[in-house]
Amino acid sequence: MSHIALNPNLRPLGKSEYLVSPLAWGMWRFAGDDVGAAQARCEAALATGINFFDTADIYGPDNDEPFGASEALLGRVFKAAPALRSQIVLASKGGIRMGVPYDSSPEYLVEAVDASLARLGVERIDLWQIHRPDMLTHWADVAATLDGLIKAGKIGAVGVSNFTVAQSSALKKHLQAPLVSTQPEFSPLALAPLQDGTLDWAMKHGLAVLGWSPLGQGRLGDGDPRPGRKQAEDDRIARVKAALAAHGARFGVGIAATAYAWVLAHPAGITPIVGSQNPARIAEAADAFKVSFTRAQWYDILVASLGENLP
C-alpha cells in the first residue's frame, strides 16, 4: 500500500516570489523583555529548518502586554542580530483594532502597515494578511489599498486570515496582485476547512494555506486554555490523542509531531503554524517529517475526530 510521505524542502508561498519552509513558527505568545532569550527562540526555529515566521500587530494583549508587543520584540531581535532578517520570510497581520473590533478601511490599513513596519524596524513585510474580515469596507477599497501598499514596497504579498471562501473570492476579484495565502484554523480537531470549501478553493486558485492552532488550541498539547468543556468533547479529544499517539509510535515521535504531519499530508500543502515558544519543542516539530501515512491511517485519525465512520 502506498504511503503519503512528507517533504521538508522549501516550497513556493502561493503565487509569490518567496520560498518557505513547510512549517511556520507562530509568534502569538512571543513575549517578554529578554531580547537574548527571544533571539534564541528565533534561532531555534531557523535551526529546525523553519524560515517562515508569522506574527500580527494584535499579538500582545493576550499576554498582558501592549498592542504590537510581539512585533516590537521581534524588532528588537532584528536590531540586536541584523543578519536574522535576511534568513526569514516575515509574515504579519493587521485589521483588528482594539475596541472596534475590525477595520479594513483604506486609512486604517495604511496606518496599520506603517505601524508594523516601525515596530519591526524593517522596510518591507514579506506577507501581510488581513487578520479578520471587516464587513463595513467594500472589497474593491480593500484591494486598491493592498495593491497600493505592494506598489509602495511596504509589503511583498497579500494574504487573508479567518476568511470564508466567499470573502476571499470577493477580495481576489478586485486585486491586481495575486492573493497568495489563506490562514484558517486547521487541526485534527478543527476540520471546517475540509468541509467548507476552503482547502478546495485554495487548491483551485494556487493559494498557500497556513493552518493556525494545528494542536487544537492546546488540546492536543500540554493544556487547554478553555474551561468548561463538555464530556463529549473530552471524549473526542481523548480519541484523537490516542489515534495520534498510536500512529506516532510507529515512527518514534510524539502526538504534536504526528498532528503536524497529519496536517502536512493534505494535498493542499497546508503549513502548520507551530506555536510553541520552547526551543526544544520547536525543534521537535521537525519530527513530523519522520512520519508517513497510508490513506487508511490518515482517515483513521479523521474518523477518530468525527466520532463516526465516513459514508
Active site residues per annotation: 59
Query: By C-alpha distance, which of 48, 114, 36 is closest to 77?
Result: 36
Query: By C-alpha distance, which of 121, 94, 122 is closest to 108?
Result: 94
User: Cα–Cα distance between 23 and 45 in angstroms, integer?
Assistant: 10
The conformational region for residue 228 under phi > 0 = left, psi -120 to 50 = alpha, else beta, is left
Pairing of strands 24-26, 179-183: unpaired
What number of other Cβ atoms are within 10 A of residue 124's Cβ? Answer: 16
Q: Peptide bond preceding 214: is omega within 30 degrees of 0, i.e. cis?
A: no
Q: Peptide bond preceding 272: is omega within 30 degrees of 0, i.e. cis?
A: no
Cβ contact 239:255 at 8 Å: no
Q: Which three cell numbers stand for residue 74?
A: 521581534
